[in-house]
């Protein structure tokens, strides 16, 4: 029986993880669940999965959650704050941690799980984008098992040679990340500039949280994923390519030096990579429908359009810059996406705000977590003032 903490259980990845666990309750039990705003859902999950602990961000949410759980006659103990998040991620009663908090808020608790040497299922790509070098250093130092949940990275992980980390890197020529192109792939720039949050969140293939949905629409998501891949697979940006594949069936590909290309295919449902991560190196039924290629009939591919989707180019630039540039990119993007979702700026202003924020920074190598947090904080305040100027 494996004991699991899900950081961000009330989100899209969190719910899919609970769905897979519910299918295998003889093998997996819940130690702790965490959430932010959806307290009713967190209370209900805590009861249904008999969680030992539920963690929220602040004291007033904790009081409300405690009373909701008591009303439901549950026994889950409620905690709050960032120390509590780190505690349930690193407890010696936990075997597996699903890191599914969205954004920079996921960094510290995920790193706590890594430092405790856990098996960490990584959905929170932002933590690697912000602090890749420190994060991967901690994975090595503490012998954590890091398994990618992002569908593209999970696909690549499945297609790499077994001894990739022990000297077989030269056999791999390219990592090819597929991208659906998002809801605006076929729109012209004029139409994209008027896109609403509802349209940006209506992804054609995947059902996801709002932030990553907007990132997919701007293609910032793919840029973040290239940086994520660089760290996860210890490679360089020139070996990473993006390929638009609107059907989201081929989840990514690995090109070998001999001309072989291995790909992982499946229906677009995050329960597949989640089940893969939970059971690895074994396999587990996920509840995902069988792939019917004759029904899908056509798989198509095209090049990404960097003019229509400038966020992808901005991410490439930040990756090439290195140091704290990806952390600045990520923080500015989080602020800009929030402003877009709030209706304060238009869709195209997301890229403008990120670009202006990056332009105002001198980059350096953040040697410590404090330096990363400092870059993140400063980028957020610059982005806020850039956005104020765009608004007025
Ligand atoms: P979501 O918005 O649906 O859920 C986010 C979760 O994080 C919620 O449980 C929320 O309570 C929690 N959270 C938000 N802000 C928080 C804060 N400040 N402190 C503590 N907890 C907080 O997001 P999602 O779509 O499930 O994505 C989660 C992560 O997984 C993201 O990093 C995303 O990029 C990545 N990811 C998601 C998908 C997907 O299909 N949804 C695919 C690949 C990767
Ligand atoms: Mg992805």
Three-state SS for 322? Answer: coil
* Biggest distance spanned by C-alpha atoms of the chain: 63
CB-CB contact of 185 with 244 (8 Å) = yes
Backbone angles phi, psi at 290, to 5 degrees: -60, 145
Q: Quick one: pLDDT at residue 168?
A: 83
User: Cα(27)–Cα(193) distance, rounded to whole angstroms?
Assistant: 49
Task: Over range 214-219, report the average pLDDT.
Answer: 98
Q: Quick one: pLDDT at residue 111?
A: 98
Task: Over range 166-184, report the average pLDDT.
Answer: 95
Q: Quick one: pLDDT at residue 61?
A: 98
Q: Right CATH number for 2-149 from 3.40.50.720, 3.30.70.330, 1.10.10.10, 3.40.640.10?
A: 3.40.50.720
- Tokens read off for 68: 């909701």
Domain ranges of the chain: 2-149, 156-391
Task: Over range 304-329, report the average pLDDT.
Answer: 98
Q: Which atom of ligand 1 is nearest to the CA of 215?
A: 34
User: Cα(268)–Cα(249) distance, rounded to whole angstroms?
Assistant: 6
Confidence of residue 68 (pLDDT cuts 50, 70, 90): very high
Q: Thinking of the domain 156-391, which architecture would CATH place it in?
A: Orthogonal Bundle (1.10)
What is the DSSP code (8-state) at residue 6?
A: E
Backbone angles phi, psi at 172, to 5 degrees: -100, 125
Ligand 1 pocket by Cβ (under 6 Å): 8-14, 35-36, 57, 100-102, 105, 123-126, 150, 206, 208-209, 211-212, 270
User: What secondary structure does DSSP assign to 50-64, as a single string?
Assistant: T-SEEEESSHHHHHH
Same fold, 2-149 and 156-391: no
Q: Render the burial of 67-101: b for 16+ CB within 10 Å, e for the rest.
A: ebbeeeebebebbbeeebbbbbbbbeebebbbbbb
CB-CB contact of 94 with 119 (8 Å) = no
Backbone angles phi, psi at 383, to 5 degrees: -60, -40
Confidence of residue 166 (pLDDT cuts 50, 70, 90): confident
Run of H or E residues at 122: strand 119-122
Q: Which atom of ligand 1 is nearest to the CA of 124?
A: 32
Q: Quick one: pLDDT at residue 392?
A: 73
User: Cα(212)–Cα(203) distance, rounded to whole angstroms?
Assistant: 10
How far does residue 178's CA lie from ligand 2's centre (Å)? 9
If one counts every other C-beta atom within 10 angstroms of the C-beta of residue 370, the result is 9
pLDDT in tens, 228-250: 999 999 999 999 999 999 999 99
> In a mutational test of the pocket of ligand 1, which residue from 51, 209, 214, 286 has the highest number of ligand atoms less than 8 Å from its CB?
209
Three-state SS for 337? Answer: helix
How far does residue 37's CA lie from ligand 2's centre (Å)? 24
């Amino acid at each position: 029986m494996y004991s699991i903490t899900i950081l961000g259980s009330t989100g899209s990845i969190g719910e899919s993880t609970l769905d897979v666990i519910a299918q295998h309750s003889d093998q997996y039990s819940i130690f702790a669940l965490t959430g932010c705003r959806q307290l009713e859902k967190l209370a209900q999950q805590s009861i249904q999965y008999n969680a030992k602990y539920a963690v929220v961000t602040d004291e007033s949410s904790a009081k409300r959650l405690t009373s909701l759980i008591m009303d439901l006659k549950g026994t889950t103990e409620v905690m709050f704050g960032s120390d509590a998040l780190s505690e349930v991620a690193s407890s010696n009663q936990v075997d597996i941690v699903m890191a599914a908090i969205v954004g920079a808020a996921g960094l510290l608790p995920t790193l706590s799980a890594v430092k405790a040497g856990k098996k960490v299922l990584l959905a929170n790509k932002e933590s690697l984008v912000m602090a890749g070098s420190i994060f991967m250093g901690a994975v090595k130092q503490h012998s954590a098992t890091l398994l990618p949940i992002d569908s593209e990275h999970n696909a690549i992980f499945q297609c790499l040679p077994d001894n990739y980390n022990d000297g077989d890197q030269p056999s791999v020529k390219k990592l090819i990340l597929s991208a659906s192109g998002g809801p605006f792939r076929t729109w012209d720039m004029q139409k994209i500039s008027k896109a609403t949050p509802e349209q940006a969140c209506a992804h054609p293939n995947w059902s996801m949280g709002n932030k990553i949905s907007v990132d997919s629409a701007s293609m910032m998501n793919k840029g973040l994923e290239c940086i994520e891949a660089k760290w996860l697979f210890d490679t360089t940006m020139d070996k990473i390519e993006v390929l638009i594949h609107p059907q989201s069936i081929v989840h990514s590909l690995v090109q070998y030096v001999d001309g072989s290309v291995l790909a992982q295919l499946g229906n677009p449902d995050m329960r597949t990579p989640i089940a893969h991560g939970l059971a690895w190196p074994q396999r587990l039924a996920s509840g995902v429908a069988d792939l019917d290629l004759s029904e899908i009939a056509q798989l198509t591919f095209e090049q990404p359009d960097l003019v229509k989707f400038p966020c992808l180019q901005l991410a490439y630039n930040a990756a090439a810059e290195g140091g704290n540039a990806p952390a600045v990119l990520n923080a500015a993007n989080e602020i800009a996406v929030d402003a877009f979702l709030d209706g304060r700026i238009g869709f195209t202003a997301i890229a403008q705000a990120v670009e202006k924020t990056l332009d105002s920074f001198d980059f350096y190598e953040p040697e410590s977590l404090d330096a990363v947090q400092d870059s993140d904080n400063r980028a957020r305040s610059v982005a806020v003032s850039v956005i104020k100027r765009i608004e007025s």
